[in-house]
Amino acid sequence: MRILTVGDIVASDGREFIYNNLGRIKKKFNIDYCIANGENSANTNGITLDIAKNLIMSGVDVITLGNHTFANREYAGVLNDNERVIRPANYPSETEGSGYFVDDLGNVRIGVINAMGRINMEALDCPFRATEKIIENIKDKTDIIIIDFHCETSSEKLAFGNYFDGKATAVFGTHTHIQTADEHILPNGTGYISDLGMTGVRDSILGVKKEIIMDLYYTRKKYRFEKAEGEVWFSGAIFEIDDKTKKVLGIERLHFSAAELAKME
Instruction: Specify the DSSP element, H or E, that contains 39.
Output: none
Q: How far apart are CA 195 and CA 217, in angstroms?
A: 23
Q: How far apart are CA 223 and CA 202, in angstroms?
A: 21
In DSSP terms, 165 is beta-bridged to 168
**Known catalytic membership, residue 177:** no
Closest CA to 240 of 226, 253, 231: 253
Q: How far apart are CA 47 and CA 202, in angstroms?
A: 21
Under the banding of pLDDT at 50, 70 and 90, the label for residue 221 is confident
- pLDDT at residue 11 greater than cutoff 90: yes
0.85 exceeded by pTM: yes
Label residues 74-112 b or e (16+ Cβ within 10 Å = b).
bbeebbeebebbbbbbbbeeebebbbbbbbeeeebbbbb
**pLDDT digit string (tens) for 102-154?**
999 999 999 999 999 999 998 899 999 999 999 999 999 999 999 999 999 99
- CB–CB of 91/127 below 8 Å? no
Q: What is the pLDDT of residue 180?
A: 98
Instruction: Specify the DSSP element, H or E, that contains 118.
Output: none
- pLDDT at residue 222 greater than cutoff 80: no
- pLDDT at residue 224 greater than cutoff 90: no
Helix, coil or strand: residue 222: coil
The CA-atom distances, in angstroms, between 2 and each of 68, 225, 260 are 28, 36, 21
Q: Other C-beta atoms within 10 Å of 22: how many?
A: 21
Please report, for the chain, how many H helices and E strands are present, in that order: 7, 14
Domains of the chain, with CATH numbers? 2-264 (3.60.21.10)
Q: What is the pLDDT of residue 223?
A: 74
Alpha helices in 74-148 (DSSP H): 75-81, 127-138
- pLDDT at residue 226 greater than cutoff 90: no
Catalytic residue among 68, 150, 175, 177: 68
